[in-house]
Amino acid sequence: MFGNSAGGTSAIQFALRHPNRCAGLILLSSNAPSKETLPPKPVIRMIFGSNYLYWKIVSTFNKTMLSMFIPKSVQVQLSDDKINKLTNSILLAGLPVAQRKAGFINDMYLSNPDINNEYPFSDVKIRTLIIHSVDDPGPPYEGAKKISKEMSNAKLVSFDTGGHLIIGHEKEIRKEIRNFIEGL
């Protein structure tokens, strides 16, 4: 089972509910326990309910919006062309967002925060690979560490930099995942 970002919650739930149907668990920049505050739901409903408003906000404040995924310390190392490519492939690729509003709201206000409800991580006995960046501005690294310590068969692979996208470590990540899968 593979869970990336918000998909980590579902992957963990699957591993907890169906251990006999899951040979291994990979969590890449996964949602993790945290104390982050959420923006007001009416604001998010408005932004994600309008394709034009979402496009305008992303187009005008792309670097600020990208900071949810890429810390400023990493952003300053990227060319304008790379910033534009990331904006298009991450933020604008979701257009039309209005059709995805219900999913965004579910992830943001139900699924993601649910991981803070004292999941029995110690009940996950299958081999688990957790890959997370220390400077991830999204799910905090401390949450990934917590999960890795509570799961008896987990390996935490950390990167000091790269943000939520773990930029610059693609080869190492592919190698870790390949080795993990081959070892199952």
The domains of the chain, with CATH numbers, are: 2-36+122-182 (3.40.50.1820), 41-111 (no CATH)
For the stretch 12-44, pLDDT in tens is 999 999 999 999 999 999 999 998 889 999 999
pLDDT confidence of residue 55: 96
pLDDT confidence of residue 95: 95
pLDDT confidence of residue 3: 97
pLDDT confidence of residue 9: 95
pLDDT confidence of residue 36: 83
- 54's CB contacts (< 8 A; 6+ apart) are 47, 48, 94, 95, 97, 98
In three state form, how does the secondary structure of 102-144 look? HHHHHHHHHHHHHCCCCCCHHHCCCEEEEEEECCCCCCCHHHH
Kindly tell me if the per-residue pLDDT of 101 is higher than 90: yes
Q: Which residue has the higher pLDDT, 46 or 138?
A: 46
For the stretch 47-75, pLDDT in tens is 999 999 999 999 999 999 999 899 988 89
CA distance 92 to 88: 5
pLDDT confidence of residue 110: 94
Q: Whose structure tokens read 């300053």?
A: 76
In this structure, how many other beta carbons lie within 10 angstroms of the beta carbon of residue 104?
Answer: 18
pTM: 0.92
For the stretch 111-158, pLDDT in tens is 999 999 999 999 999 999 999 999 999 899 999 999 999 999 999 999
